[in-house]
Amino acid sequence: MKTIGIDPGTARMGWGVVDEQGSQIRLVEFGVLTTPAGMPQAERLRRLYDGLSEILGRHHPTYAAVEELFFGKNVNTAITVGQARGVALLALHQAGADIHEYKPTAVKQAITGYGGADKRQMQEMVRITLGLAAVPQPDDAADALAIAICHAYTGPTLRRIAGGA
């Protein structure tokens, strides 16, 4: 079953698709959707939507895992990331993906076993889990793959709970 992970952002939206085959998680594809800083916000959001819709049409993931919004000190950044997140959720819903949202600490816990892991630890565990020679670049794509892997680890338990088993 394919899972797409989304690391939302307006300037850079990371995405990564993995495929669960039994107990193995295999890399399918990853990348980053980018928009120029000077572009009007509505146009940036449309570009992100169109790009993500194209990726979803190509891969038809069963599941989608999206990072929940983390509020830092910069309110403007939080608002624009929230808008990008909304666009991603809409595209994922329209594509029929079963959407799950994860807090950054939950992703870190699932990937490294420690909710306070740093970026380098996360990236290395993504590399090891997917059997890659190098850490996926750029960082936004590696983060999206971590989110997808988090769901690949967590999803079976969620499905058992939902099924009452």
* Confidence (pLDDT) at 76: 79
Whether 1 has a pLDDT exceeding 80, the answer reads yes
What SS3 class is residue 141?
Answer: helix
How many other CB atoms sit within 10 Å of the CB of residue 155?
18
CA distance 95 to 4: 12
* Confidence (pLDDT) at 154: 87
Q: Which of 19, 20, 140, 143 is catalytic?
A: 140
Residues forming a β-bridge with 7:
14
Is 140 catalytic? The answer is: yes
Q: Which helix (H) or strand (E) holds 17?
A: strand 12-21
- 59-83 residue pLDDT tens: 999 999 999 976 666 777 888 899 9
Of the candidates 123, 98, 96, the one whose C-alpha atom is nearest the C-alpha of residue 111 is: 123
- Name the least confident of 5-14, 29-38, 67-76: 67-76
* Confidence (pLDDT) at 72: 63
Q: Which of 29, 50, 67, 118 is catalytic?
A: 67
Whether 105 has a pLDDT exceeding 90, the answer reads yes
- 115-129 residue pLDDT tens: 999 999 999 999 999
Whether 165 has a pLDDT exceeding 70, the answer reads no
Structural domain including 123 reads 2-163
Is 118 catalytic? The answer is: no
Whole-Å CA distances, 157 to 22, 58, 127, 150? 14, 27, 24, 12
- What confidence tier does 164 reach under pLDDT thresholds 50, 70, 90? low
64 phi and psi, to 5 degrees? -130, 135
Is 68 catalytic? The answer is: no
Domains in the chain, number: 1
First to last CA, the chain: 20
- Domain of residue 121, CATH code: 3.30.420.10
Q: Where are the alpha helices (DSSP H) in the chain?
A: 41-59, 75-94, 104-112, 119-130, 139-163
